[in-house]
Amino acid sequence: MTANPATRRTPAPPEGDLQDSPRFPIAAKVELANPVQRKNLHYAMTTIRTKRAKVVAELDDWEELRSAGEAIKNRTLRHLDRYLVELEESLTRAGTTVHWARDAEEANEIIVGLVKAKLGEDPLAEVVKVKSMATQEIDMNEALEAAGIAAWETDLAELIVQLGHDRPSHFLVPAIHRNRSEVREIFLEEMGQYGRPAPADLDSDPPHLAGAARLHLREKFLRAKVAISGANFAIAETGTLVVVESEGNGRMCLTLPETLISVVGIEKVLPTFADLEVFLQLLPRSSTGERMNPYNTLWTGPTPGDGPQEMHVVLIDNGRTKVLSDSFGREALRCIRCSACLNVCPVYEKVGGHAYGSVYPGPIGAVLTPQLRGVSTPVDRSLPYASTLCGACNDVCPVRIPLAELLVHMRHKVVESKKADRLAGANPSTHLPGFLARLHQPHVESVLMASTSWAMSDGKRWAAATKAASSGGKVLGLKFGHLGPLPWPLSKWTDARDVPIPPTESFRAWWARERGDAGSRRGSEGRS
């Protein structure tokens, strides 16, 4: 059964630009109120973590593999200009056409142009897609839809998200926030509007849900003349592109259509074919908890009579060279999109992916998104704070990205951005001295930090501050175990945490009482 031609448009996603999402603390409160999602996330994250730990423990050289992956990626980023030129030459030599895109707008213009060149002005123009974070990043589906081209997701979880008028919430399992009964309802209500309907007696048994999706997608695979993919890796040495996946839908998209368009971030380059040996061990163990991916598809240009006969690669920057210019922040570009950091993050497990206002959730999203988009919007400024800094993400990252340190790095950038905004908002006609200009329209955070810096920069001032705090602690400790919510503006900090009573005795006071002059003399001798 084929779709009604009048209804061959794809389901509309939720309205609104992700960059206009509310700040993370606000969005997180909304997501925390969803008990079904929290239950799903806890079960899924626990299962994936357990599988990953088991297969990683099988390798005695796991840490050496991580170090090798880090080294290969670092070498690539140091010489990215050279490897990109080599990649273009290798792709061209293999018969693939290379396109360069500075940003999302340019990338979408290229992709829409390529599809129209193949399909003309067909009112029923459509493409099939392999799951791709890069195409989500540039809002490619929406750009194609605006041009009258339907883009069908073929990954099972992405299909659930698309039919549910939803957004992905995880790298690996985009529909992790949905349970089986919800998926059944989506299939029964939506599939028939966009192609073959789900069986009327469909239940929530996973094999039956997968079977309904398989039948629904089959007609699209067989009908499509154009497919769009991303790439997990692009080999500069040979011009080979690599897609790893678990369902086989990617294999269908990469082999059946006449034209294949691959959208690839410039950081996906690997120098040599031999480098795959490392990453094809790191990626599946870190993402799905498998020893290897069920489907590993590698292609090096078109082959007459076999597979797509026309191949294009769109290499996108979209902020990546800006990230590369940051000597420390560039470490985030090592990311291979495995989702290991999401799976161990206690914050992500509670709130899910939608709270991040980005296609990249979790710790890596909290770092990478504000790097790519900048820290000019409320949601992007809030993301580096969407973490407890527990460091679990550092321990599991297969390419050893120091995510906790990068989060602190990005917090510093947010603070500097706020300072710059305040200075830019000052009235230049007042000609205020430097220190007064910095206080113009002060932010509570900056005032508190400046006050703390002033107190801690002088030993006498700090001694007086700790003595005053101890005195306050003695008084408050008589009546309270902790301080309740504080008045504005400190209420923004205390509405989510208890404030402890200050200690009744400072360390300085304890040292003087316990050690006296003898302790002071020993400290002086140690410094001489």
* 172-204 per-position pLDDT tens digit: 889 988 989 999 999 999 999 999 999 999 999
pLDDT surpassing 50 at residue 451: yes
Lowest mean pLDDT among 276-280, 432-436, 462-466, 472-476: 432-436
* Same-domain pairing of 448 and 318: no
User: CA 49 to CA 172: how far, in whole Å?
Assistant: 13
pLDDT at 274: 97
Domain-located, residue 178: yes
Give residue 347's identity as a one-letter amino acid code.
Answer: V
State how far the Cα of 211 lies from the Cα of 187, in Å rounded to an integer. 11
Instruction: Kindly state whether residue 289 falls inside one of the protein's structural domains.
Output: yes
Asked if residue 164 has pLDDT above 50, the reply is yes
The whole-angstrom separation of Cα 172 and Cα 131 is 9
Q: Is residue 416 a part of any domain in this protein?
A: no
Q: What pLDDT score was predicted for residue 17? A: 77
Mean pLDDT of 149-153: 96
The tokens 């200075």 sit on which residue?
423
| 418 band by pLDDT with thresholds 50, 70 and 90 | confident
The set of residues, in sequence order, having a beta carbon less than 8 Å from that of 161 and lying 6+ positions away, is: 153, 167, 168, 174, 175
Residue that terminates a domain, selected from 322, 349, 368? 322
In a domain, 402, yes or no: no
Residue 403 domain flag = no
Q: Can you tell me whether residue 385 is helix, strand or coil?
A: helix
Residue 250 and residue 111 share a domain: yes
The per-residue pLDDT for 443 is: 64
Say what the pLDDT of residue 518 is. 53
Q: What is the pLDDT of residue 139?
A: 95
Among the ranges given (142-151, 338-347, 387-396, 415-424), the one the predictor scored with the smallest mean pLDDT: 415-424
Domain that holds residue 142: 5-322
User: Is residue 331 included in any domain, yes or no?
Assistant: no
Using the structure block, give the residue that is written with the tokens 């290897």: 292
Query: pTM (2 decimals)?
Result: 0.86
Q: In the prediction, which pLDDT does 524 show?
A: 46
Task: Give the three-state DSSP class for 488.
Answer: coil
Looking at residue 94, which CATH number applies to its domain?
3.40.50.10420
497 has a pLDDT exceeding 60: yes
Residue 299 CA to its chain's centroid (Å):
27
- Rounded mean pLDDT of the chain? 89
Q: What is the pLDDT of residue 6?
A: 41
Task: Tell me the backbone φ, ψ of residue 358, rounded to 5 degrees.
Answer: -160, 160
Final residue in a domain of this structure, among 322, 338, 355:
322
Provide the pLDDT for residue 467: 82
- pLDDT number for residue 478: 52
449 found inside a domain: yes
Task: Report pLDDT for 459.
Answer: 85
- d(CA 195, CA 1) in angstroms, rounded, equals 7
Instruction: Name the residue type at position 486.
Output: L
- What are the helix (H) ranges across 457-504? 459-477, 491-494
State the Cα–Cα distance between residues 83 and 493, nearest whole angstrom.
Answer: 47
Same domain? 121 vs 259: yes
Residue 425 lies in a domain: no
Mean pLDDT, rounded, for 222-243: 97
Query: How far apart are alpha carbons 468 and 347 in whole angstroms?
Result: 36
Q: Mark which of 322, 341, 357 sits at the end of a domain.
A: 322
* DSSP per residue, 386-437: S-----HHHHH-TT---HHHHHHHHHHHHHHHHHHHHHHHS-GGG---HHHH
Report pLDDT digits (tens) over 63-118.
999 999 999 999 999 999 999 999 999 999 999 999 999 999 999 999 999 999 99
Report the domain count for the chain.
Answer: 2
Contact 62, 70 (CB under 8 A): no
Confidence of residue 159 (pLDDT cuts 50, 70, 90): very high
